Structure 1
Amino acid sequence: MSRPSGGGQVAIVGYAHSQVWRHAPRPLGAVAVDTARAAITDAGLKPDDIDGFATAALFPTAGAHTVEDGVSTVTAQWLADHLGVTPRYAAGFQGIGQLPGAVALAVGAITSGAADYVLLHRALHNPPGRYHANPMRTAAGAQQWTAPQGFFGPLAMIALPYNEYLQRYRASREAMATVVAEARKNGARIPWSYWHGKPLSRDEYLSAPVINDPVCRYDCDLPVDGVAAFVLTSAERARDLPHRPVHVAGLAFAAPPRPRLPLHWPLDDIMAAGTGLAGRLWASAGVGPDEVDLPQLYDGFSPFVYFWLEALGLCPVGEAHRFVQDGRIDSDRPGGLPVLSGGGALGNGRMHGLPQMIECYLQLSGRAGERQRERATVGVACQSSPHFGGAVVYTTEPTRERSRAR
C-alpha cells in the first residue's frame, strides 16, 4: 500500500496565462501582475484572499545577464508587493527541478498551515538578441577543461547524450521528426502559443540546418516572454470554488548521480537518475506508469522526450525512437499516448515546464475546450532532464490509495 504525498489534499483551483511573445510589448512584471490577477479571479477569489506566494525565478540561460526583479525575473515577494498583498508566506525555489520545486513549496505551505491560498507563478524573459550572450574571455574553474575546446552552452550539452543515444540504439535523426512535428502540430492549435497557426512538417524539420551535430534548429525550444499563474489550496476548500479541482498526488526530483563537469551530461547518468526519480514519483503518488493517461513530457530539447519516455517506464529502454513512430504519440489517434498534447516547449516556446503543467490542469479539470480528451484522470508534468529536474503527478481525485505489488 502506498500513501500519496500529502494525501493528494492540495489542489489547483484556478489558472491564467499570458500570450507567449518573442518579446513582450510590456515589462515582464506588468504581464505577471495582470496574469496573477486573472488567475485569482478565475479561482473565484480576490487578491486579499491570497496569503501565500511561490515561484521558481531562475532565468534559464547560459549567458550572463543582470537579474532585475520585475524586468528579467519576477520573484514571489515582488509579485505580492505589486498586487498590494502582505502574505504570510512567500518563497522561491532555487534547486534542481524549477517548476516542480515551486509546486512542492506551495504544497508544503498549505499542508503545514503556513498559507491557505497560494499563488504559484513562473515568468520567462527573452532579452532581445542576446539570450545566450556570453561575455566570458577567460575560462576558470571547471570550465577551463571544456570551454576553450568549444564545449560550452546547452547545445553542446545535449548533443553529447543525444549522440550516445543515436549510436547505442541505432536510432536516426529521421525518427525525431515525428516528435517535433507532433509538438508543433499541437502548439499550432493553442491561441496563446508563439507557434499558433504554424505547424511544422517532417520535411521542414529534416531540411533544417544542423547547429551542433546532431541537434538542428527545430530540436531546440525558442526563447520567449510569457507568464502563467495557478492558485492552489486544500482539497477541502477547493470544494467551494467554481472549477473542478486538480489534485497534486505526488512529486519527485533527481540530481546527477556523480560529480561531472558542468555541461557533461552522459546518457548513463541521465537514465540512472531518471529511473530513481520515477520510482520515487510512483511511490509518492500511489500510481504506476500504466495508469497515466496524460503524460506531458519535457521537451526543451527534443531528445528529452526519448529520455523521459524510457525513464518513466512508458516504453522499454532503447525503444523510444521506435515507440514514437506509427502514431503511437499522436494525440489525435485513439489509443495514442498524448505526450505532447499541450504542445510542450517546442510547440509553445521556452516556457520552462509551464506548458506541461497547464495541459495537465486544463485536461484534468475538463477545461481544455475543443482539445478536451475523453479520458484524462492521471497526468504527469515533467521539467528539465530526468537527471536535472523533477516531475509532478496530478489526478482528478483527492486521494488515490492502491494496493500495488512491489
Structure 2
Amino acid sequence: MAIAGCAQSAIQRHADSPLGALAVDTARRAIADAGLELGEVDGIVAASMFPTAGSHTVEDGISTVTAAWMAEHLGAAPRYVAGFQGVGQVSGALTLGINAVACGAADYLLFFRALHNPRGSYHGNSTREITGPQQWTAPTGYFGPLAMIALPYTEYLQRYGADREAMAAVLVEARKNGARIPWSHWYRKPLTAQQYLDAPLLADPVCRYDCDIPVDGVAAFVLTSADRARDLRHRPVYISGYAQSSPVPHRLPLHWPLDDIMRGGAETARRLWESAGVGPDEVDLPQLYDGFSPLVWFWLEALGFCPVGEAHRFVQDGRIDSDRPDGLPVLSGGGALGNGRMHGIPQMLECYLQLAGRAGARQRAKATIGVACQSSPHYGGAVVYSAEPF
C-alpha cells in the first residue's frame, strides 16, 4: 500500500471559504498531484469528528466534512465511501482506506481530514444543567480537554521530578519548524522558551502554548496499491504497518490517569512494531502527536525512544533538535503546536513529504522509516511509513 500524492490547504484561524469548499479544492489538488483524473478516484474515506466541547452546531460542509458529503460534491463517482468513528480519528480513517484498497473495494482512494474553528469561543458552552456521570465532575471545574490533560501532566511532573522548563524545549522545537512552513498558521512566528514560560496558565500546569490553536484547514492524500503507485507521478511512500489503541478502562468522564496512558501506550506500541516488522531503533523520522505538549513526552516513552520517566530529560540539550545530525526529529514537521489543530495530519504529511523526497528546503539527508502518531498513546493510533517497500 502506498501514498501517491497529497495537498494541504493554508492553515488559518478562519478561512475565507466555507470548510466544504476548502475541502473540495484541496481534494482535487491532491488528485491532480498524484497525476490522476477526477474520474479515476473510486474511493473516499474520512474522519469527520468536530473536536469541540462547546455549544456549536455540527453541520456537514460547514463545521465538518464527511466522506458522504465529499462524495456528493467532489464530482467523482466513487464505489466505496466510508467514514471512521472510533479511537484515533486520522489513523483509524486511514486504516479504512488501506483495507479498502487491499481488498479491491477501490483502486485509487482519497483520504482527507477537514478541521473547523467556529466563530466565538471554541469551547464556549451554554449548558446550565449537567446530568449523567459529568454531574460529579463538571460543577467542580473538571470539564473539557484542558482539565483532561492537566491531570496526567501534573502526575508526570510530580512522579518524575519534571518541570515546565523542560517542556519549553518541546514548544520551541515545534514552533521553530512550523515557522518554516508556508501553509502553517505559525509561519514566520517562532517561540522562545521565555515566551512559553511567561504565558498565562489555563488549567495548571497547562498554559496557552501547551495547546494547539483551533484553525480552519484541510489535507488530502491519494492511496493506491504499491504496484499502481510506481507508475504515477511521484515516488511512492509505503504504508508498512499500523496500530489502534485498545479500549480504555472505564473512568469518570475525561479521566486519563497517567498509568492508563502508559499501559495502553505500551500495548499500542507492541502492536505497531509487530505490524510493521521494525522497532524504534530503525525509525529515523518519528512524528509524535502534540495536540497537547505532554503527549510528546508520553509518546516518546510509549514507543520506546527513551525510558519511562526520562522524556522530560530527553527533550532537552538539543536531543529533539531537527537541525542537529544527532537529533531525533520528533517535530520536524511542526506538529499541531507548530501548524494548528489539524489532529494527526502534520505528522502524516511530514512522513509523506520527507520519505518521498518532496520536502524542499526542509528535506532531511536521511529519511527512510517514519512513524506518525495521533491522539494519546492509549486513545489513538500510529502508522509506520517507509521510503522503500519492506
Could you say whether these structures have the same fold, taking a TM-score greater than 0.5 normalized by the shorter chain as the test?
Answer: yes
Q: C-alpha displacement at 1:30, in angstroms?
A: 0.5
User: TM-score normalized by structure 2?
Assistant: 0.99
What one-letter code is carried by the residue in structure 2 that aligns with 1:284?
S
Report the secondary structure of 2:256's partner residue: coil
The residue number in structure 1 matching 2:371 is 380
The equivalent of 1:108 in structure 2 is 99
Match of 2:212 among 221, 225, 232: 221
Distance 1:115 1:190 in 2: 33
Contact 1:257/1:272 (<8 A) preserved: no
**Structure 1: how far apart are the matches of 2:126 and 2:378?**
28
How many residues get paired? 390
1:129 is the counterpart of 2:120: yes
In the TM superposition, what is the alpha-carbon distance from 1:86 to its structure 2 partner?
2.0
Assess if the C-alpha contact under 8 Å between 1:256 and 1:270 holds in 2: no
Asked if 1:345 is matched to 2:336, the reply is: yes
Return structure 1 stretches of 4+ with deviation > 6 angstroms.
none
In 2, the alpha carbon distance for the partners of 1:273 and 1:108 equals: 24
**Whole-angstrom distance in 2 between the partners of 1:114 and 1:253:** 22
Q: How many Å separate the matches in 2 of 1:285 and 1:199?
A: 35
Q: Which amino acid aligns with 1:385?
A: S
State the shift of 1:256 in Å. 4.8
Q: Secondary structure at the match of 1:317?
A: coil
Which position in structure 1 is the counterpart of 2:139? 148
Aligned partner of 1:297 in structure 2 is: 288
Give structure 2 stretches of 5+ with no counterpart: none
Kept in 2: contact 1:187–1:196 (CA 8 A): yes
User: Match for 2:324: what amino acid?
Assistant: R
Partner of 1:32: 23
Pairwise mapping of residues 252-331 of structure 1 onto structure 2 (< 5 A)? 252-331=243-322
CA distances 1:56-95 after superposition (whole Å, capped 9, x unpaired) = 0001111232111110011112112111122110001000
Answering whether residue 154 of structure 2 is matched by residue 163 of structure 1, we say yes
Counterpart of 2:62? Answer: 71
Moved more, 132-141 or 341-350: 132-141
Partner Cα separation in structure 2 for residue 12 and residue 332 of structure 1 = 26
Once the two structures are aligned, what percentage of the paired residues are identical?
73
Query: Whole-Å Cα distance in 2 between the matches of residues 18 and 147 of structure 1?
Result: 36
Which of 83, 87, 93 is 1:92 aligned to?
83
What is the rounded CA distance, in whole Å, between the counterparts of 1:133 and 1:352 in structure 2? Answer: 20
User: Does 2:387 correspond to 1:396?
Assistant: yes
Q: CA deviation at 1:24?
A: 0.4
Name the SS of the counterpart of 1:74 in structure 2.
coil
Aligned to 2:183: 192
Q: TM-score, normalised by structure 1?
A: 0.95
- Aligned Cα root-mean-square deviation (Å): 0.8
2:317 counterpart of 1:334: no
Map of 2:108 onto structure 1 = 117
| AA in 2 matched with 1:141 | G
Give 1:240 deviation, angstroms: 0.6
- In structure 2, the residue matched to 1:6 is none
SS for the counterpart of 1:198 is coil
1: CA distance between counterparts of 2:187 and 2:130? 41
Is the Cα–Cα contact under 8 Å of residues 288 and 372 in structure 2 kept in the other structure?
yes
